[in-house]
Amino acid sequence: MSLKIYGIAASRAIRPLWAAEELGLPYEHIKLHYNAPETKQRPYLDLNPNGTVPAMEDDGVAMFESLAMTLHLARKHGQGSLWPEGEGPQAQVLQWTLWAACEAEPPARQWFQHTQFLPQAQRDPALAQAGLRQAQDKVMLLDRVLAKQAYLVGDAFTVADLNVSAVLQRLPAIADGQAPHALAWHQRCFARAAAQRAFALRDAK
């Protein structure tokens, strides 16, 4: 088995890295920065024609899109654990993953970019505020769901929790003291040994 994950851990590469750690998979981590010129050139573009990180190679299969990578790894190696059994739970994994990508990530990203990521001169406080308000609505939705259950798909951690919590990595700052159920769930996800190992890669050289 050969698994390669391209992209520094302080990027969306954290998502497949976390999934690989959850599944106990051996992998090679190629710590490519998202601003590295190599990401815009071949041979990297053959793996990820978007010129972004992460990219992944699994037994010769090249992939882009971080959340597709976690789903792929979970389905391939995590049957009955990260990838739950049964059509209904599996449908919910897909549902929450697309929700993370389509509904939660855009406003959370807008808020983060206009408060922390972009150079000061490019930040727009109105966009930051609008992003925050929309991201807070998503966190409150999660809070209502997680008031009734410990995890997004039933009572055990699945790749749905990994995907949503990783996309809403900054949920505590977004929630701003609200959403106790979502906050507790987020803490449970990030306290996992595999999450700790993956996030520790951000400090590794």
Ligand X SMILES: N[C@@H](CCC(=O)N[C@@H](CS)C(=O)NCC(=O)O)C(=O)O
Q: At 62, give phi and psi (nearest 5°).
A: -95, 140
CB of 7 or CB of 84, closer to ligand X: 7
- Of 53 and 183, which CB lies nearer to ligand X in the complex structure? 53
Q: How far is the CB of 67 from ligand X (least distance, A)?
A: 6
Q: Report the nearest approach of ligand X to the CB of residue 57 (Å).
A: 14
Smallest distance from the beta carbon of 100 to ligand X, in angstroms?
10
- H-state helical runs in 147-192: 159-167, 171-175, 180-191
> Residue 56 belongs to what H/E stretch?
strand 55-58
Q: Figure out which of the listed residues 66, 110, 136, 158 binds ligand X, where binding follows CB under 6 A.
A: 66
Q: Which stretch binds ligand X (CB under 6 A): 61-69, 82-90, 136-144, 145-153?
A: 61-69
Q: Are 69 and 22 in contact (CB under 8 A)?
A: no
Which residues have CB under 8 Å from 62's CB, separation 6+?
A: 46, 47, 48, 55, 56
Q: Is the alpha carbon torsion for 194, 195, 198, 199 positive or negative?
A: negative
Question: Is residue 52 near ligand X by the rule CB under 6 A?
Answer: yes
The answer to whether 111 and 128 are in contact (CB under 8 A) is yes
Q: Which of 17, 19, 20, 53 binds ligand X (CB under 6 A)?
A: 53
Residue nearest ligand X, CB atom distance: 52
Q: What are phi and psi of 185, to 5 degrees?
A: -60, -45
31, 8 contact by CB (below 8 A):
yes
Residues between 124 and 183 with contacts to ligand X, criterion CB under 6 A: none
Other Cβ atoms closer than 10 A to 145: 14
56/183 with CB nearer ligand X: 56
106 binds ligand X (CB under 6 A): no
- Please tell me whether residue 65 binds ligand X under the rule CB under 6 A: yes
Of positions 6, 11, 23, 132, contacts ligand X by CB under 6 A:
11
Q: Is 109 in the site for ligand X (CB under 6 A)?
A: no
Among 30, 34, 81, 109, binds ligand X (CB under 6 A): 34
Q: Footprint of ligand X on this chain (CB under 6 A)? A: 11-12, 34, 51-54, 65-67
